[in-house]
Amino acid sequence: MIPLSVLDLSPITEGGTAAQSLANTLDLARNADRLGYRRYWVAEHHNSPGIASAATSVVIAHIAAGTSTIRVGAGGIMLPNHAPLVIAEQFGTLAALHPGRIDLGLGRAPGTDMETARALRRNLNAGVDSFPQDVVELIGYFHAAEPSQRIRAVPGEGEDVPVWILGSSTYGAQLAARLGLPYAFASHFAPAEMEHAIHIYRSRFQPSARLEKPYVMLGLNVIAAPTDAEAELLFSTQQQALVSILTGRPWRLPPPVTGYRSQIEPTASAMLDQSLSCSIVGSPAIVRSGLDAFIRRTNADELMVTSQIFDHSARLRSFEILADAHRELSKAG
C-alpha cells in the first residue's frame, strides 16, 4: 500500500483560540507519528480567521520538536510572499535541528486576498510570474556552496531539503515535470483538473538529481466515524466552512449541523459536490473501500489526508479509523 500523510490546516474553531488550535495540531501530529503516517504538513494562510498556521515555519518547528519520526513540512509555503533566501535559511535551520525530517512544498498562490498580499510583500512586482525562477534560486541555496559564491544560505547550504511543487491546476504539473520534482495536487478542494494534471506531470517528467521518476501525492478528504450517519454529521463542518470561503465570508470552523445540505441553496450544494468530490465519508467499511477505490483510480504514489472536524477527539478518532483501514488493505495485498 502507498503511504498516507496528514495535511492539517490548524483550524481555529468557533469559540476556540489559536493557542488551542496549535495545541491540537501537536496532539494530532503525535498521534499520526504513533499511527505510522509518513508526513505531517501545515499550510501558509494569512488573514484567515479559522487557520492558525500563518507563521508556517514556526509551527513546523513546534511540531517537529514534539514528534520523533514523522516527516514534518509545509504544504505549502507560498513563495511569492517571500524572498527565496529567507525560506532557504528558515528550512535550512529546520533541517539542521531535525535532520532528515523536513519537507518544503512550494505554491505560487498568495494564500490570502490581494490586499493582504500587498501588506505581506509591500509591492507585487515579484509575483507569480517569477515563481519558476524563484524555485530554482531557492533550490540552489540548498546545494553545497561554491568557493566563489557570494550569497549563501547559512543554515541551508548542503542540506538538500526535499522540495515539492504544489498545485491545483496544470501549471504546477508542468513546472514539477520540467524541474524533476515531486508533485502534490490539491484534489481535496480543487479536483477538476486532477486527472489532467497527473497525466501532464507523468508524461512530461524529466529526471533530475533530486528525483529519478515521477512521484504524485494527492489530497483527499476523509471523515471517518463508527457509523455513516455520524460521519455525515461531522462532514457538515467542512461543508459549512467551504461554503463560507466560496462566498467570500471565511470564518472559524463551525460545529456540525444536522441536515445541513437540505438547508442550503442548490448553487451552494453544487459547489460542494464539485469541490469536495475527492472525499471519503463514512464508517470503517466505507473508508476502507473508498480508499482502495481512490488509489486504484488514480495510481497515486502517496495520499495526503485532511479532516476538517470540529471536535478534536472526533478528528483523532477519524485518523485512527483511517490508519486501521490502511493496515487492513495492506494485509490484503
Q: What is the pLDDT of residue 176?
A: 98
Looking at residues 82-97, what average pLDDT do you find?
Answer: 97
pLDDT at 113: 74
- Whether residue 125 is predicted with pLDDT greater than 90 in this model: the reply is no
Low-confidence winner among 97-101, 156-160, 211-215 (lowest mean pLDDT) = 156-160
Q: Which domain holds residue 110?
A: 4-332
- Report which of 123, 117, 19, 6 is spatially closest to residue 67, judged by C-alpha positions: 6
Distance of CA 151 to the CA centre of its chain: 31
- pLDDT single digits (tens) 22-32: 999 999 999 99
Task: Give the CATH number of the domain where residue 33 resides.
Answer: 3.20.20.30
Q: Model confidence at 128, in pLDDT bands (50, 70, 90)? A: low
Strands 279-282 vs 216-224: parallel, antiparallel or unpaired: parallel
Q: pLDDT at position 246, please?
A: 87
Whether residue 162 is predicted with pLDDT greater than 60 in this model: the reply is yes
- Number of domain units in the chain: 1
Read off the pLDDT of residues 297-310 as tens digits, 9 standing for 90 and up: 999 999 999 999 99
Tell me how crowded residue 227 is: count the other CB atoms within 10 A of its CB.
12
- Cα–Cα distance, 28 to 23 (Å, whole number): 9
Q: What is the mean pLDDT of residues 120-137?
A: 77
Q: What is the pLDDT of residues 205-249, one digit of tens each?
A: 999 999 999 999 999 999 999 999 999 999 999 999 999 998 888
